[in-house]
Amino acid sequence: MASFDSLSDEDRWGLAFYVGSIGFPSSQAKLGESIWRSDPTVRQRISDMTALVGIAPDAAAAHSEQADALMAYLRRNPAVAAVGEGRLTLTRERLDASLKAYADGDREAAADLALSAYLDGFEPLEPVLAARAPDLVAEIETGMIQLRSAIASAKSLTDVTASQQHIVELLNKADTALASQSASELSSFLGAFGILLREGLEALLVVVAMVAFLQKTDRRAALRYVHAGWITALAAGGATWFVATYLISISGASRELTEGFGSLFAALILVTVGIWMHGKSNAEVWQRYIREKMTTALSRRSGWFLFLLAFIVVYREVFETILFYTALWAQGNELALFGGAFCAMILLTIIAWIMLRYSARLPISTFFAVSSILVAVLAVVLAGKGATGLQEAGLINVTLVPGVPRVPILGIFPTQESLLAQLLATMLLCAGLWLNKHRRVSVK
């Protein structure tokens, strides 16, 4: 028999919890699980492994019978206390400190602490919670924005307190959603499927539009730049996963900044591309462009532009997907996760095939007209997402706009800054379309 000294740290803790569970009948574990999942005050009291190891059985719950049942469950399933690693406890602590700072008249410290409550406390748990309760994630994010907006607007202490208490109530619900030991196979499958499909679709639309354009205009030699761009983005995503897993921890601020700047950069390029495509949607204009440009090979500079656009658009989505998948992987059910990812890839492949096949049959003017609309919509969506990412990283202010719905798929968020970013993108597109029309009239 192996000695205790020869065991690994993980095996020692496993043995310790096994021995500790002997004093509590297994018949009580079911009741203990029910108490753990339904009582947020218990989960706050035992917020991580340190708290579980250090708490006396009688202190675990209000009544001794509940305490025995709770310990019967926790000592047989200690991993449930590690879910969140105390992150929601940290979120609550930062929220309390933010409210105290605001009450003391220190608005700057209150704003910094409210931002930290999101970035350092809640944001790392988003991927796991999103797989189980996506609507709750949206509510908490909105609540965080409302709190920071109230602080920035110097609202009354009563209003700020109400915003803070609303978030705490939502965190209690999040506790319940995170209380199970691991995600179910169905939630892991749906989480992996939904994340890859959502993140992959935006990148796919842009890359397929670029490929279809090059094929339609018989510039197939330039396809290597597009393919090199998205393949390099996938490789960079793999490197990001390795760094995030084995070398450093990617902070919430870094993630939001990467997504924010990446979205805004892509939006700016797509505005330009959308205007250009619209300008070529007239048959006469396109034929004139062909006569002038088709004899000239695509320049190296234009090729690298295509590479950069493909890389930025794809890497932005890969970056977020990897961080979400890393969190889901820690919850178990690896086969279900792989199944969800595989099904999403199959669906994305089918969508890409349909888009390329359909675009090949379109007249060139119709192709450019449809593509310009698609690219313009994506530009407006990414403008809203980019501004929101920078807001969540604390780089730009948050000014709440009451009554505006939160529609992430369209990049619509209830803040003045994100809506202004979308309005600016729309105005640039409209100005470009007007200029295209004016040029056509002048030529005639």
State the pTM of this model: 0.56
Q: In terms of pLDDT, which residue wins out, 255 or 100?
A: 100
User: Which of the residue ranges 232-246, 287-301, 370-384 would you say has the lowest mean pLDDT?
Assistant: 287-301
CB 183 within 8 A of CB 83: no
Residue 420: per-residue pLDDT: 92
More confident residue, 159 or 12: 159
Give yes or no for residue 282 having a pLDDT over 90.
no
CA distance 379 to 312: 13
- Is the Cβ–Cβ distance between 114 and 144 less than 8 Å? yes
pLDDT, one tens digit per residue, over 380-408 is 888 888 888 888 777 777 787 878 888 87
Predicted pLDDT of residue 15: 66
pLDDT digits (tens, 9 = 90+) for 73-125: 776 766 556 554 455 778 888 899 999 999 999 988 998 888 888 887 787 77
Which helix H or strand E contains 158, and what residues bound it?
A: helix 157-178
What are the helix (H) ranges across 282-415? 283-293, 300-329, 334-361, 364-392
**What is the structure's pLDDT at 301?**
64
Cβ atoms within 10 Å of 280's Cβ, excluding its own: 23
Whether residue 280 has pLDDT greater than 70: no
pLDDT per residue as tens digits for the range 194-222? 778 877 887 887 788 778 777 777 777 77
Choose between 59 and 287: higher pLDDT.
59
Task: Give residue 317's pLDDT.
Answer: 78
